[in-house]
Structure formats: structure tokens, C-alpha cells
């Protein structure tokens, strides 16, 4: 069974709502990032292998084929280089989603690996903008005719 992105977001919210110190905020940022990451993995695997195949080896292989750094690099490319080739009206939520995923990845690295980086000033607003918004944008894309991945 793969991690449930919705539950990861609930956990991040619980950590934010009841945070007592910076450790709780660090865990919340990391958990929010993993919520987005597993949402993407599920979407990719559902699209390629099919939702009816979630218990198969093929689905697991597709799910595990997405790695953090290449995903971040793709999001950075979409946010910088591809923007100039946007059609009239832009790419809309695809570029916004990519930018937010990249930012959340970077915040997760700071939260998990840079102990001198202070997160208290960012607090709840950081997690709301960077955690919930990517998920909401991807849900919009999923409901529309746009195929984000």
C-alpha cells in the first residue's frame, strides 16, 4: 500500500495547528512535500498503469520510477525555460503547480537538512501556500481536459 497523500496533508495540518517548536514545523513541511510527491506518483501511475492495477507489479514499478531531483528539475524547467514558449493565455495552472512543487522541494531540503535555517517566521502561511496550493492546482488539472503529466 502506498502512502495516502490526503493523510499526509492531514498530518501536516495537525503539526501546524499544534506546533510547539520549530521541529513540528520542519516535520510539517517535509510531510506536506511528501503529500504532493505521492499525489504526483499516484497520478502518474494511475495514468500509465491504470487505477484498476494498483496492486500489480507494473503499477509499483511506474510509481517508483519518479525520483525527487528529476521531478524538481522538470518543475524548474517548466517554470523558467518553457514559460517563454507559452501560448496566448499561458500554460495556466501547470506552470503554477510546477513552481510551487519546486519551492516546496527546496523548503523540504532546508527543513530536513539545514538545522540553522529558521522556519518560525514562515510558520503556517508557508505551509498553506506551498502545501495545499499544489494539491489544489493538481486537482484542478485532473478535473480539466489538461493532462499535466
What are the tens digits of pLDDT across the range 118-139? Answer: 776 555 455 555 555 666 766 6
Return the beta strands (E) in 76-133 as ranges: none
The CA distance from 81 to 78, in Å, is 6
Tell me what pLDDT residue 145 has: 47
Mean pLDDT of 29-57: 93
Q: Provide the residue ranges of all domains of the chain, joining segments of one domain with +.
A: 5-143
Interhelix angle for 22-49 vs 93-113, to 10°? 140
pTM of the model: 0.80
Above 90 in pLDDT, residue 64?
A: yes
Tell me what pLDDT residue 106 has: 87
Give the residue, 117 or 79, on which the prediction is more confident.
117
Mean pLDDT of 77-85: 75
The CA distance from 87 to 84, in Å, is 9
The CA distance from 79 to 40, in Å, is 17
Cell numbers for 19, please give them.
Answer: 506546533
Amino acid at each position: 500500500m502506498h502512502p495516502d497523500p490526503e493523510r499526509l496533508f492531514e498530518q501536516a495540518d495537525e503539526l501546524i495547528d499544534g506546533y510547539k517548536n520549530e521541529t513540528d514545523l520542519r516535520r510539517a513541511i517535509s510531510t506536506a512535500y511528501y503529500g504532493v510527491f505521492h499525489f504526483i506518483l499516484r497520478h502518474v501511475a494511475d495514468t500509465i498503469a491504470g487505477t484498476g492495477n494498483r496492486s500489480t507489479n507494473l503499477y509499483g514499478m511506474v510509481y517508483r520510477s519518479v525520483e525527487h531531483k528529476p521531478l524538481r528539475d522538470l518543475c524548474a524547467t517548466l517554470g523558467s525555460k518553457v514559460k517563454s514558449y507559452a501560448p496566448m493565455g499561458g500554460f495556466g495552472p501547470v506552470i503554477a503547480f510546477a513552481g510551487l512543487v519546486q519551492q516546496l522541494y527546496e523548503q523540504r531540503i532546508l527543513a530536513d537538512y539545514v538545522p540553522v535555517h529558521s522556519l518560525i517566521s514562515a510558520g503556517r502561511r508557508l505551509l498553506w501556500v506551498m502545501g495545499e496550493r499544489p494539491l489544489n492546482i493538481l486537482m484542478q488539472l485532473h478535473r480539466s481536459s489538461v493532462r499535466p503529466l
